[in-house]
Amino acid sequence: MRVRSSLFSPVFPLYRLILGLPLIAALSVAGCATPTPTDGASQTPARSIPAPADPADWVGRWQGPGPGAASLTIMPRADGHFEIDRRNDQGVATHYEATATGGRLYFQRLGKTLAIRPGRGSETGDPALADLSDCLLVVPDGGGYCRRPDSADALPLTPGAYVTVKTSCNAAQRTDTLFFTGAGIARPGQNACRASLVGQQGMIFHLDDSCAGGAASSGANETISVPDAHHMAVAANGRPAALYRYCATGLLPPAIQAARPH
């Protein structure tokens, strides 16, 4: 183990301490002196420049204004680019490839380059989004999409039933089944479940789920990884993750269909 010398360490020779006293005194006087600018100008501290936004943090679904089906879904690709699914109020989707540069996502639409940047709902001019702060803006055409703090609508999943991958849809039991409602995760017969997004790292979402039980100190008691729109891995309260796949509701046993949240 190396021993670092200091002024107060017994391994620091006394004669070095004595010889160094005049230098220490000189540095102390210099440190107390007030520098005088030669040009008379005031010294302004350098302003820090914030780091650009990371589009990898935008993975997932962002909701458009109003009660329609408008949404923006961003998913990463293996080549480092991003896939964008943009849906209008009627649910009609258009797909684009986007490139991340300088804290923005750029894509081509009808021969025009558009960019996605972070912003606030008040910048969209839409009253339905005005109070929301976690938003993405599409510029220059002005479209805006946001996430609500009291919801898990960021999950880029198809709403409906999810059954553990080792269980067939028509043999699903209550313990094998989850429902994604479009705003959160619910268990069969648990209509009052509420979930909110606490944090995110790319495709991994941390939720505060009222039906998962045992809230953690971080506020998250459930972690969900979403590789695509039809699969999710769910780990609640530190338990091992279970992998689920989408099942059409009509394929579930009648008892599970009757217990789905409304």
According to the model, what pLDDT value does residue 91 have? 84
CA distances from 68 to 80, 87, 89, 147, 197 (A): 31, 10, 5, 15, 22
According to the model, what pLDDT value does residue 183 have? 85
Question: Which residue in 162, 141, 1 sits closest to 72, CA to CA?
Answer: 141
Residue-wise pLDDT tens digits, 81-109: 999 999 988 889 999 999 999 999 999 99
Q: Is the dihedral of CA 164, 165, 167, 172 positive or negative?
A: positive
Contact 62, 75 (CB under 8 A): no
Q: Which residue ranges in the chain fall short of pLDDT 50? A: 1-42
Contact 154, 135 (CB under 8 A): no
According to the model, what pLDDT value does residue 83 have? 96
Question: Which residue in 174, 191, 202 sits closest to 75, CA to CA?
Answer: 202
Which tokens sit at 89?
Answer: 């109020």
According to the model, what pLDDT value does residue 158 have? 93
Distance from C-alpha of 11 to C-alpha of 40, rounded to nearest angstrom: 47
According to the model, what pLDDT value does residue 22 have? 40
According to the model, what pLDDT value does residue 143 have? 83
- The number of angstroms, rounded, from the C-alpha of 93 to the middle of its chain's C-alpha atoms is 23
According to the model, what pLDDT value does residue 184 have? 85
Concatenating the DSSP letter of every residue in 144-190 gives: EEE--TT--TTS---SEEEEETTS-GGG--GGGEEEE-SSSEE-TT-
According to the model, what pLDDT value does residue 238 have? 74
